[in-house]
Chain A
């Protein structure tokens, strides 16, 4: 049973471009969470999704950021018009209902 798969592992974007980060949850997991981690800091919750539904997006910036978890395919975190401050590691986690969550290896976004 493969773990949570995130791709790409590293992503470089120029300011103003779009970044799309993908997360394939573990098999049988219908809950997906996205976290952001800045250097030397803890993980900050961004959004919690179930299939086709956003359950909690209280940690998402109001502009430029969006997330989806379609019925088929991976969850996508999309950042439009990236700025240098978006440079961070973005982690995805997945879980079943009421169980512990498993994290992916993360996507390291660098905005140049």
Chain B
């Protein structure tokens, strides 16, 4: 089961770009990288998922180097409402499960200041 390492916390100011890097040295060939966001008292919310190179959606970008041992979630021009915990997850599509064997860890607490 591939575990991940993320910074415990990060601070930023409104309007800045935030990059959160996650290490996953034991990632397996069929593992995907998925990021979730969690606000206090709410369930996690899917942000983005990727396998290699770069993925972009309306919320964020995900950069994955060729060796796939790390990934970087990039949030452009953050606002106060982006203050949340961000989880990096690594796991494969084992027997149809996308979450069953994923390790959430403690995530990265991002605080955006005015």
Residues of chain A touching chain B, judged by Cβ–Cβ distance below 8 Å, are 4, 31, 33, 35, 41-45, 48, 50, 55-56, 89, 91, 93, 95, 97-106, 108
- B96–A97 touching, CB < 8 Å: yes
Q: How far is the CA of A43 from the CA of B38 in the complex (A)?
A: 10
Interface residues of B in 43-101 (CB under 8 A from A): 43-46, 49, 87, 93, 95-101
CB-based contact B99/A41 at 8 Å: no
Main secondary structure on chain B at its contact with chain A? loop
- Docked Cα-Cα span, A91 to B67, in Å, equals 33
With contact pairs A48-B100, A95-B98, A99-B98 given, residues A42 and B106 touching in the complex (Cβ less than 8 Å): yes
Please list the residues of chain B having a beta carbon within 8 angstroms of any beta carbon in chain A. 34, 41-46, 49, 87, 93, 95-107
- Residue contact B99 to A101, C-beta cutoff 8 Å: yes
Count: A-B pairs, CB below 8 Å: 66
State in angstroms the CA–CA spacing of A33 and B96 once bound together: 12
B76 CB to nearest A CB, Å = 21
Residue of A nearest to B95 (CB): A55
Question: What 3 A-B pairs come out closest when comparing CB atoms?
Answer: A103-B43, A48-B100, A43-B104
